[in-house]
A and B are shown apart, each in its own frame.
Chain A
Amino acid sequence: MSATRRLRLLLVPAGLFVLAIYAWPTLLLLRNAFNEVGPTGALVAAWSLKTAADTFADGFTFELTWNSIWLSLVATAIALALAYPLSLFLFRTTSRWRGVLAVIAILPMLISGVVRVFGWLAILGDRGLVNGLLQWLGLISAPLKLVFNWTGVTIGLAESIMPYMILALLAGFGQLDRTLEEASRSLGASPFRTFLRVTLPLSLPAIVLAAGLGFVLSMSAYITPKLLGGGRVFVLATEIFEQATTNTNWPAAAVLALYTLVLLLVLLAFSNLLARRLRR
Chain B
Amino acid sequence: MNGAGPVLSGIAALVYALILAPIVVVFTLAFSADNFILFPPSGYSLRWFQALAGNAPLLSALGLSVQVASVVTLCSLLVGVPAALALAKGEFRGKDALTGFFLAPLLLPTLITGLALLLFFTPLRLTATLPGLVLGHMTVTVPFVIRMMATALANLPHDIEAAAATLGATPWRVVRRVTLPLAAPGLIACACLSFLLSFDETVISLFIAGPRASTLPVEMVRYVEGRTDPLIAALSVVLIIATLIVVVAVERLVGVARAVGR
In whole angstroms, what is the CA distance A104 to B9 when docked? Answer: 15
A187 in the interface, Cβ–Cβ < 8 Å? no
Chain B neighbourhood of A9, CB < 8 A: 86
Chain B neighbourhood of A241, CB < 8 A: 111, 206-207
What 1/0 mask marks residues of chain B from 8 to 44 whose CB sits below 8 Å from any chain A CB? Answer: 1101100110111111011001000000111110000
B1 in the interface, Cβ–Cβ < 8 Å? yes
CB of B109 within 8 A of CB of A220, answer yes
What 1/0 mask marks residues of chain B from 98 to 142 whose CB sits below 8 Å from any chain A CB? Answer: 100110110011111101111110000000000000011011001
Chain A neighbourhood of B211, CB < 8 A: none
Residue of B whose beta carbon sits closest to that of A264: B109
CB of B12 within 8 A of CB of A85, answer yes
A118-B224, A216-B109, A223-B221 known; A22 vs B256 contact (CB < 8 Å): no
CB of B200 within 8 A of CB of A112, answer yes
B87 in the interface, Cβ–Cβ < 8 Å? yes
Q: How large is the interface on B (under 10, 10 to 19, 20 to 34, 35 or more residues)?
A: 35 or more
CB of B220 within 8 A of CB of A112, answer yes
Chain A neighbourhood of B207, CB < 8 A: 241, 244-245
Residue of A whose beta carbon sits closest to that of B197: A110
Chain A to chain B contacts (Cβ below 8 Å), 30 pairs: A6-B171, A11-B87, A11-B98, A15-B98, A15-B102, A21-B120, A25-B113, A29-B112, A32-B119, A85-B12, A93-B2, A94-B4, A104-B19, A110-B243, A112-B202, A112-B217, A112-B243, A113-B200, A114-B217, A122-B37, A127-B38, A129-B40, A167-B261, A191-B5, A220-B111, A220-B112, A226-B221, A226-B225, A227-B225, A257-B115
Q: Spell out A's residues near B (CB within 8 Å).
A: 3-4, 6-11, 13-15, 17-18, 21-22, 24-26, 28-29, 32, 82-83, 85-86, 88-90, 92-95, 99, 101-123, 125, 127-129, 132, 159, 162, 167, 170-171, 178, 191, 216-217, 219-220, 222-223, 226-227, 237, 240-241, 244-245, 250, 253-254, 257, 260-261, 264
